[in-house]
Amino acid sequence: MYKLKKLLKELEKYRGRHTELISVYVPQGYNLNLIQTQLFQEQGTASNIKSSTTRKNVINALGKILQELKLYKSNMPNGMAIFCGNVGDKGELKLWVLEPPKPLKIKLYRCDQTFILEPLKEMLRSDKVYGLIVMDNQSAAIGILNGKSIIVEKEMNSLVPGKYRAGGQSAARFERVRENLKKSWYKDLMEQALNIFNNEKNLKGILVGGPGPTKNNFVEIMPQYLKKKIIGTVDIGYADASGLNELVNQSKDLLEQEEIMQEKKILKEFFYKLAKNPNLVTYGEKQTMNALKSGAVSKVLLSEEVDEKTIEIFEKEIKNYGSELAIISVDTSEGKQFYQIGGIGAFLRYEVGV
């Protein structure tokens, strides 16, 4: 998943001058010979492209893919994703072939100005997605917790006045107006939440947070099928985008097994030991590698922003010494802090001079 994320980040940067970047998806179990036949036919069709530059680039890219596929006796277990085209300022012809981390279901051939990446991006989405709502009578935010990422989907403000009425207005009339505006506010917020959550196929649960009892009143008007998905209502101080982060942080017991909490837990322990017992952790590329090669490392932590070649070197050594590896995202504040100190560290089995 880490390697796929890095590759997608790279492929997203490229733009063709015309429709000359080729994307090929070979589904799991599909006959590779049939794909080769199709691409050979597409190469013949490409000879009809009017622009000589585009024609040449497409034909060359298809040729490079066909040459590469000769090296494979059969399809990969999860299928194949292939990307090829002239990229960069010098128009370098580059090719990427990968086996996705999950079985590929789609068959596709496309020539475009960009690579078609959505089927692979979908694989990065966690199988466990949580809906997040923070609200009070004045504002609200709706978000999604997907793996380690908190995605802000919508921020809203209401027209509900405060509890104190303007002069000259009767208390009863003011309260009626206020109650009607509250009902309208809850309804609008619910409609927005439904639009967002109904698009999430893997929605496992919903967390609702906010100050005071307002969130509980809001939950009461939820449709029954959505109400069943609520795994907790949490008292928090904010009802805006920052409240979504507070909601997740305050729901540790509810999200104990989720990826974001596991990462926060690892880094909390790392920074605690760094401050209180620094001889049982280390950080920095050289120090961590020395400790690893001495057999003292129980778990290596590598930020996903670290150079890929460096990660591959550590992966090889980790296998040799039986240590564990945790790839740390920069989606959390703790992950960003870890990257700021170099993005490479480790837990030690025992104290060692490094």
pLDDT tens sequence across 48-62: 989 898 999 999 999
- Asked if 55 and 49 count as a contact pair (C-beta separation under 8 A), the reply is yes
- Asked if 123 and 100 count as a contact pair (C-beta separation under 8 A), the reply is yes
Q: CA 1 → CA 88, 108, 322, 329, distances in Å?
A: 25, 21, 21, 12
Tell me the domains of the chain and their CATH numbers.
2-124 (3.30.960.10), 129-255 (3.30.420.60), 260-348 (3.30.1330.30)
Calpha distance 38→46 (Å, rounded): 12
The pLDDT score that the predictor gives to residue 298 is: 95
Give yes or no for residue 336 having a pLDDT over 90. Answer: yes
Q: For the CA atoms of 55, 59, 64, 69, what is the dihedral angle to 10 degrees?
A: 140
The pLDDT score that the predictor gives to residue 121 is: 87
166 confidence band (pLDDT: 50, 70, 90): low
Average pLDDT, the chain: 89
Choose among 162, 144, 160, 239: nearest CA to 199: 144
Q: What are the start-end ranges of the H helices in the chain?
A: 2-11, 32-45, 52-69, 118-124, 171-197, 214-220, 224-227, 241-249, 259-276, 285-293, 308-321, 333-340
Calpha distance 261→347 (Å, rounded): 18
Span 305-326, average pLDDT: 90
Give the distance, in angstroms, between the CA of residue 120 and the centroid of all CA atoms in the same chain: 12
Span 331-352, average pLDDT: 92
∠ Cα 223 193 200 (to 5°): 95
Span 182-195, average pLDDT: 92
Q: Who contacts 135 (Cβ-Cβ below 8 Å, separation ≥6)?
A: 141, 189, 208, 209, 210, 214, 215, 218, 239
Give yes or no for residue 178 having a pLDDT over 50. Answer: yes
Render pLDDT for 111-138 as a digit per residue (tens, 0 to 9). Answer: 999 999 999 988 877 667 899 999 999 9
Span 192-211, average pLDDT: 90
The pLDDT score that the predictor gives to residue 212 is: 86
The pLDDT score that the predictor gives to residue 53 is: 87
Specify the length of the chain in residues: 354
Q: CA 46 → CA 49, 53, 74, 129, distances in Å?
A: 5, 11, 26, 42
Render pLDDT for 1-30 as a digit per residue (tens, 0 to 9). Answer: 778 888 898 899 998 888 899 999 999 999
> Looking at 88-97, 149-158, 222-231, 269-278, which range is the least confident one?
88-97
